[in-house]
Structure 1
Amino acid sequence: MTFAPYALEDLETDALTELVNIGVSRAAVSLRKMVGSQVTLSVPSVEVVGRRAAVTLIRERESDQLVAVRQDFSGAFSGRALLIFPEANSLELVRAVTHDELSGQEIVDIEEEALAETGNVVLNGCLATMANILQRPLAMSLPQVMKGDGQILFELSEEPDDNGVVLFLYINFAISGRDIRGYIAMLMDLPSLRSLKELIGEFIARVVGAGGGDG
């Protein structure tokens, strides 16, 4: 099934993937300072789907309870950013951040604080970089940690015509040999997605213009 009102063209998807990869690369540098070892973050795919489809997608991929760090953003485009992990992965991430120096109970005690800090680094790094390259300011709220399934995280309403869309960015984390997978999901309404598409179009025009010059 296609979602015509939300669909990004191939060139837009490529440009957005490139923007996000630059953002998460910068976030990886900050994370490396936190964990004290090599961090690689990559975004292999980008999808734009309706919220209902997003809930189904994540349910098919993840049977475990999910943990998410949420930050709202506003500016030329607005919405909510979520850094989502399966719960087992979230504890592994806390172990990495605390250098495996804490007991199981201590990890549980500081899990929320460590996840909020990590989410802030990744989401801020990603969105601030995107905003910078798109030449528009974005304001970010403080991070909050949430737990639940996709229906809770994506705040799916009972309305059948829920117009919210989810921009899904799949992330692979590699932290000093730990395999930690996660997702960034950006929840936006259609006007915000249209604004983002326009900014991506301007970015593509700038890149094409720069590439076509005589220098």
Structure 2
Amino acid sequence: MSDTLIELNEIERDALSELANLGVGRAAASLARMVGEQVLLSVPSVDVVTREQATTLAVRGNTGSLVAVQQSFVGPFSGQALLVFPEANSLELVRAVVGEAVPLEDVADMEQEAVAEIGNIVLNGCLATMANMLRQRLDMSLPEVMHTSGAQIFASSLSGEDGGLVLFLFIDFRVRQRDIQGYIALLMDLPSLERLKDLINDFVLRATSDPAATAQNG
């Protein structure tokens, strides 16, 4: 397969951004309920890039330690989903979930398990919504929490043999009243992108022929 043959046209890109918006919006609502604060999101960025470019885009100059919750997803399209935030935000995020009354040392003891649960809820909410809109189902692996540097953030996700292009979907989030910010990233290889393109075009066709039914599906 040639790396240059797979592209998203404008309609496909807009449709994927809309799906991502719906998915992350639902995930953000779950996170907002957990932390009791409004969660702000950026407009999804969708690009077909090299694996190295994906790492550069994700790091964005952040040379500090990061915490990442990673989950694999498998179905008609497959890939890696990550919820990533600076390590300094990790305890603050957990404290936001468990409450201010819990002593700091207890929060630290709960950090790994709580972060995994937060990632599981956010990433599952995002992908399940997207899959539902495409009338598909995805199976998710258990969440894995990693403490890593920016340069290594996609190390375990970049082990594919194609060595070529990937679909990179990127969304910033921020908790309004707290110093917590991070991002959600989805990474897919080209075979998955080909299958996803077909599903997106089916979604667009349904949306243009019966907008009401498509809206109800979300």
TM-score bracket relative to the smaller structure: 0.7 to 0.9
TM-score w.r.t. length of structure 1: 0.85
SS of aligned partner of 1:178: coil
**How far off its partner does 1:173 sit?**
2.4
Q: Deviations over 1:90-124 (max 9, x none)?
A: 22211211222233332222111111111011100
Partner of 1:47: 46
Q: What are the residue-to-residue correspondences of 1:103-182 with 2, within 5 Å?
A: 103-155=103-155, 156=158, 162-163=163-164, 165-175=166-176, 177-182=177-182
Superposition pairs of residues 57-136 of structure 1, within 5 angstroms: 57-136=57-136
| TM-align CA RMSD | 2.5
Deviations 1:36-60 (A, max 9, x none): x233242413132221012222333
Q: Distance in 1 between matches of 2:94 and 2:50?
A: 31
Q: For 1:52 and 1:5, how far apart are their aligned partners in 2?
A: 19
- Aligned partner of residue 54 in structure 2, secondary structure: helix
Residue 23 of structure 1 contacts residue 127 of structure 1 at CA under 8 Å; is this kept in 2?
yes
| Closer/same/farther in 2, CA of residues 25 and 60 from structure 1, 3 Å limit | closer
**What does the per-residue CA deviation read over 1:124-155, in whole Å, with 9 as the maximum and x for residues that have no partner?**
00000000000011111111101212443312
Whichever residue aligns with residue 168 of structure 1, its letter is: L
Give distance in 2, aligned partners of 1:158 and 1:133.
28
Note if contact 2:31-2:39 (Cα within 8 Å) is conserved in structure 1: no
Whichever residue aligns with residue 145 of structure 1, its letter is V
Q: Distance in 2 between matches of 1:169 and 1:60?
A: 12
Secondary structure (helix, strand or coil) at the match of 1:183 reads: strand
Contact 2:167 2:190 (8 Å CA) reproduced: no
| CA deviation map 1:5-58 (0-9, x unaligned) | 4532222222112112211222233223322x2332424131322210122223
Amino acid of the structure 1 residue aligned with 2:119: G
* Contact 1:147/1:153, CA 8 A, preserved across alignment: no
C-alpha contact 1:168 1:183 (8 A) present in aligned 2: no
Q: Which residue of 1 aligns with 2:216?
A: none
Q: Kindly tell me: are residues 5 and 52 of structure 1, through their superposed partners in 2, closer, same or farther at Cα, counting changes over 3 Å?
A: farther
Deviation, structure 1 residue 72: 0.9
Cα distance, 1:13–1:101 mapped onto 2, change above 3 Å: farther
Q: How many residues align?
A: 208
The structure-2 alpha-carbon separation of the partners of 1:59 and 1:130, relative to structure 1 and needing over 3 Å to count, comes to closer
- Pair 130,75 (structure 1): closer, same or farther in 2 beyond 3 Å: same
The sequence identity of aligned pairs, in percent, is 50
Give the Cα separation in 2 of the matches to 1:5 and 1:111. 44
Q: Evaluate the alpha carbon distance shift between residue 47 and residue 4 of structure 1 in structure 2; reply closer, same or farther with a 3 A threshold.
A: farther
Q: Which moved more, 1:76-85 or 1:5-14?
A: 5-14
